[in-house]
Each structure stands twice: as structure tokens, then as C-alpha cells.
Amino acid sequence: MEGIILVDKPRGITSFDVIARIRRFTGVRKVGHSGTLDPMATGLLPVFVGKSVTKQIKHFMGADKGYEGEMTLGVRTDTMDSEGKELECQISNVKTCENEILKLFQKFTGKIMQKPPMFSAKKVNGQRLYKLARKGLVVDVPPKEVEIHRLELLSFKGNIVKFRVLCSKGTYVRSLVSDIGNELGYGAHLSSLRRIYAHPFVISQAITLETIENLTKIGKLDSIMLRVEEFL
């Protein structure tokens, strides 16, 4: 059994948890994915099943990604998202207008310099940043260039901003949201995130883990697996 399964990852589990379940459902040990999603994020996770297929993951790792997200203005957290510890709350001071948000979205579109969050899987001197952060250590990580191809405002009400973003590989949406909040002066954190695109795949192609399990039980999983050769 070999091919690509496009999983609609639920909130609250890691990308590795998804891989573990696919291994259990299929009995195949060689399983991998292209592009990690944080536990709080949902949406499109391309999963590669089989020895020859997992060898092709490298061809998909540099792909652009698309997300729909929600930022909460006026609240900073240590992880830059809703899973973290609240550091500061200035909701009562938020007096931002939609036009100000649109101008900032324009400012953050294009090539920008971005620092990875301390609570991330990025390695520094062989150690994951989130492991250092859990020990209370802060590392000065140099910023790197990423590209925001498109940043759209979907809605804005109170201190909640919903948006859609298309960005290059390696972009941290949490950092983008935090930087926008800092520009406003109130801070912000990412309160929800859903991946809707991972070139060349879209969220409408993705299926739930429950559906994958049920198809496996009746011997029909092959019917939804994509051939990697079609996308190379």
C-alpha cells in the first residue's frame, strides 16, 4: 500500500499523532508528512505512505502554504497562540479601526524578516527551541526572510481579526500575528489556525481520520490515496 493521503487534522493532536494513527490503520511503517501543523491548528496535512513514496517528500517540503486564521488583539501569550500562558492583557485599550488593520496587512505583505517563536520545533545548536523555552531559557535566534504572498482581511469585530494568508515555506503565522499586534501597540496572539492549502493540494481534498479508519476496515483506503507520480 503506497500513496498520498490528505488528512484533515483535528485540533488537539500533533502531526506525529496523525502519522502514528495512519501506521496503525494501515500496518505500514514507512509513513511521513510534509509540513508540520501545531496541535492547536487544524486542516490539510499531506501524509505519504510507503517506502518509495516517503522518499519523495523532499519535493513537497518547499511548497507555499495557505491558512485561514484568527488573531485576538490585546492579549499576548508566551507561545504567541491560545495554547500558551497569558503574559499581558490590554483588551480594554484596543481602539483599532479596520483601515489600520488593512494598512498593516499591506505592510506585512511581501518579503519580510521574521523571528521563529521560542515555542517552536526549530533547532538551535542541535536543540529544539520549545525544549529550551520549557526550561525558561531564551535564545536570541536571528530573523530569517520569508514571503507573505497575500494577506486578506476576512472580518474584524471587537478585538477579533479573521484573515487568510498565502505564504512561503517556513513562515510562522504565530510570529506574523504577534508582530502585527506589536505594531498596533496592544499585542496579539493567534487564537485559531486552519491550513487550507499546501501546494499542490487543497483542503477540499482532505478527509478525516475517522473516514480513513473506516475505509481501512472495509479495504477501500486505496480508493482515496493519490499517486505521487501525478504531482512530480
- Residues tagged active-site: 38
Q: How far apart are CA 2 and CA 52, in angstroms?
A: 8
End-to-end alpha carbon distance in the chain: 19
DSSP 17-51: HHHHHHHHHH--S-EEESS---TT-EEEEEEEESH
Judge whether 69 and 192 are in contact, CB under 8 Å. yes
> How far is residue 230 from each of residues 4, 137, 199, 200, 222, measured CA to CA in Å?
11, 45, 13, 11, 15
Q: How far apart are CA 61 and CA 77, in angstroms?
A: 29
Largest CA distance in the chain: 57
> How many C-beta neighbours within 10 Å does residue 144 have?
14
Backbone Cα Rg of the chain: 19
- Among candidate residues 184, 225, 181, the one with its CA nearest the CA of residue 201: 225
Bridge partners (DSSP) listed for residue 164: 68, 152
Peptide bond into 142 cis (omega under 30): no
